Amino acid sequence: MIQKTFHLLMHSCFSSAAAAVYLNAVLSTGLFLKTSCYFILIQEPKTWTEAQSYCEQYHVDLATIQSDEDRYKIQEIAANEAWIGLSMNLWLWSDQSKVTWMSVKWAAGQPDNASGNEKCGFVLETGLIGDDGCSHTLPFFCSEFHSCVNP
């Protein structure tokens, strides 16, 4: 089933040969639960910094939510809390782009910077955002396929 789902999503992003190579690489890792053309959920818990390094090495970067459409895409595949590319270095995205505050929908009471040490953003399965300590380990979303057309 994952191969069929992945094939449908990949069809509009790559030639069939490139999609097959990517699909085999993805399936061999066993880390991927769900995917979309914009974001990939990595289930292996990592700290925010480890997650960012992983995304930069194997994908583009941690997920950046710039619109309601982005938030809905994340919400479609989120199962629990997961890191995104938001960090409190003046609240910038990990790719250093500015935060569009209209696109950031905080969970009730967030950000709260509990204990003065919550400087990294995560997304809930509802699509709302919270802050947490960067050393906490969570699954995470990577950005991928920037030129992909929504299937």
Number of compact structural domains in the chain:
2
Q: Are residues 113 and 136 in the same domain?
A: yes
Enumerate residue ranges in the chain where pLDDT < 50: 1-20, 23-24, 27-28, 30-36, 146-151
Please enumerate, as own/partner, the contacts of 108-113 that have beta carbons within 8 Å and a separation of 24 or more.
113/88
Helix/strand/coil for 129: strand
Express each pLDDT in 113-148 by its tens digit: 888 899 999 999 999 999 999 999 999 999 985 443
Q: Are residues 68 and 21 in the same domain?
A: no
Instruction: Kindly report the pTM of this predicted structure.
Output: 0.70
Q: Write the CA distances from 42 to 51, 53, 82, 94, integer angstroms.
A: 9, 13, 9, 17
pLDDT at residue 22 in the model: 54
- CATH number of the domain within which 81 lies: 3.10.100.10
pLDDT at residue 37 in the model: 57
Is residue 60 included in any domain, yes or no?
A: yes
Q: Are residues 77 and 136 in the same domain?
A: yes
pLDDT at residue 109 in the model: 93
Q: Are residues 78 and 113 in the same domain?
A: yes
Q: Angle, to 10 degrees, between the axis of helix 2-11 and the axis of helix 16-29?
A: 140
pLDDT at residue 91 in the model: 82
Q: Are residues 26 and 45 in the same domain?
A: no
Q: Are residues 48 and 105 in the same domain?
A: yes
Domain containing residue 16: 1-30
Is residue 149 included in any domain, yes or no?
A: no
